[in-house]
Amino acid sequence: MLKSFIRDSVVYAIPSIVSRGLAVILIPLYTRVLTPADFGSLDLFIAFATLVNLTVALEVSQGVARFYSSEKDAGRRVAYASSAFWFTVFCYALFLIVTLIANKELSRLIMGRDGMETSFQVGVIYIFINGVFYLVQNQFRWEFRSRHYAVVSMSVTIMTAVFAVFLTYVLGWGLYGLLLGMAGGMLIGCIYGLWYLQNSLRFQFQWSRLKEMLTFSAPLVPSGIAVFITLYIDRLMINHFLSVDEVGLFGIGYRLASVVGLVIVGFQGALTPLIFSNYHDEQTPRQLAVIFRGFIVFSLLIFLSLSLFASEILYLMTTPAYYSAASIVIFLTPAILLSNMYIFAPGISIAKKTYLILYINIGGAVLNVALNWVLIPEFGISGAAIATLLSYTGVFFAYMKLSQKFYFVPHQWHPIFFSVVTSGLLAYWIPKFDISFSAGIILKLSVIVLACLFFVIIRLVKVSELRQLRAGITKRFFA
C-alpha cells in the first residue's frame, strides 16, 4: 500500500501543482482586470456551484467510490459506473433547464448585485459541465489510472487558464470571460475523459446498481449541505454584514491559502481508493499512520511559508486594494487543511455508518454559523477566518474520534501536537518583528529551515522514512 501510495500520490500531486501554480501566477492579472466586487460575485457564485454539486446528483460519485473499488466482477463494475454516469447527466440537465428559465430572478440573488444575468447564464452551463466532469475525472481514480487522471486534470487547468486569460484580459470580457473560460476548459476535460473511459462508461443503466449506490450516498447529501454551510457561510455572512467588496478580499486571502491544496490533492487522490481496497490488511493501519505524519510535515511547512510571507506575496502579486487580505491567511491555511483531513479518518465509511458523517457536519455547520454571526461584526473578515478555523478543528476531531472507534490507527499524537503548536506560534509572532524587509526575509527563511530540523528531532518524521521516500521516488521516476 505504501508503494502504491507513493507512486500515485506524486502523480496526483502534479496536476495540483500546475493548477495551484497557475492560480497564483494569474492573480496579478486578474486583480488588475477584476475589481474586489467582481471577485466577490465570483466567490458567491462558486458557493452556489458547490451547493449544486453536493446535492443535484445525490453524491452518487461517493457511491461509485465505495462499490466500484471493492467489486471484483467486471460486468458489475461497468454497471455501477455507467448507471452513475447517466443518472448524473440527467440530474444536471434538469438543473440547467430550470436555472436558465429562472435566470433573471436567480442571478442577483446568487451573485450579490444587478446586471449579472449573462455571466450567470454562462456560469450555470459551467456547473452542468463541471458536474459531469467531476464524475468522469474520479472514475480514473477508482480504476487506479493515475496517469490519465493527471493528464485530464492538467488539460483542464491549462486550457481553462488559456481561455480565461484570452477572454478576460485580451478581449476585456471581465467576469463573463472568466466563467466562459472555465466552462471551455471543463468541456475539453469531459471529452478527453469520455474517450478514454469508453470501456467503463457505456450506454447501460441498471436501477438495482443505482439504488445500491444511492442508498450509500444519499445520506451524505444533508451532510454535504452541512459541509457547504461550513465552507461558505463566511462569504454569505460577510456579504450580509459588510459588502461584496469584502467578500472579494476574503476570496483573495482564501485563494492564497488554498495553495496548501498542493499537499491535499496528492494524498487525497491516492489514499481513498487504496484504503477501500486494503482496509482488511492488518498492515494498513500502521501504514496509514506513517502517511498521516508525512502529511502533517508537508502541511506545516506550507502553512509556515504562506503565513510568514503572506504580506510579501500579496504586495508583489496584487494591487493595494487587496493587501489587507494578508491578515487572514494564517487562519485560512490550517482551516483548508482540516476541511480535507477526513480522508485520514476512514473508519466511519468502512463501517458504512454514513449517518454519523451527517451528525458531525451538521454540528460543524451550526458552530460555524454561530461563530461567524458573533465574530464578523466584531473583527470583520478576520473574524470570518477565525470562525472557519475553529469550526473545522471541531469537525476534524469528531471525525477522528469516531473513526478510531471503528477502525483504529496507531497515530503518534504527541509529536503531532507539539509540531502544530510550535508552528502556529512561529507563524503568529515572527511577522510582528519590526525589522527591515531583507532581514525579515532572512529570518522567515531561517524559521522554516529550523522547523524542518525540529520535526526530525521530535520524530514527527524519521530519517529512515525520508530515506525510503527518496529511494521510492528515485526508483519510480529516475531509474
Contacts 24+ apart (CB under 8 A), 382-386: 382/327, 382/328, 382/331, 384/234, 384/235, 384/237, 384/238, 384/250, 384/328, 385/234, 385/250, 385/253, 385/328, 385/331, 385/332, 385/335, 386/331
Mean pLDDT for 165-179 is 90
C-alpha span between 450 and 426 (Å, rounded) = 11
User: Position 458: which residue type?
Assistant: I
Q: In terms of pTM, does the model score above 0.85?
A: no
pLDDT, one tens digit per residue, over 86-131 is: 999 999 999 999 999 999 889 988 988 888 999 999 999 999 999 9
Contact residues for 310 (Cβ-Cβ < 8 A; gap 6+): 253, 256, 326, 327, 329, 330, 431
- Please report the pLDDT score of residue 307 as a whole number: 93
Contact residues for 312 (Cβ-Cβ < 8 A; gap 6+): 441
Distances (CA, A) of 374 to 43, 232, 383, 386: 22, 16, 8, 11
Contacts 24+ apart (CB under 8 A), 321-325: 321/31, 321/35, 321/36, 322/31, 322/36, 322/249, 322/252, 324/249, 325/249, 325/250, 325/252, 325/253, 325/256, 325/381
pLDDT, one tens digit per residue, over 187-234 is: 999 999 999 999 999 999 999 999 999 988 887 888 778 878 877 889
Sign of the Cα pseudo-torsion (208, 210, 213, 214, in order):
negative
Q: In this structure, what C-alpha cell is assigned to residue 307?
A: 503565513
Closest listed residue to residue 230, CA positions, set 390, 12, 2, 70: 390
- Please report the pLDDT score of residue 266 as a whole number: 62
Q: How confident is the model at residue 309 (pLDDT cuts 50, 70, 90)?
A: very high
Mean pLDDT for 152-180 is 90
**CA 69 to mean position of chain CA atoms:** 22
Q: What is the DSSP letter of 303?
A: H
Sign of the Cα pseudo-torsion (324, 325, 330, 335, in order):
positive
User: Is the Cβ–Cβ distance between 129 and 188 less than 8 Å?
Assistant: no
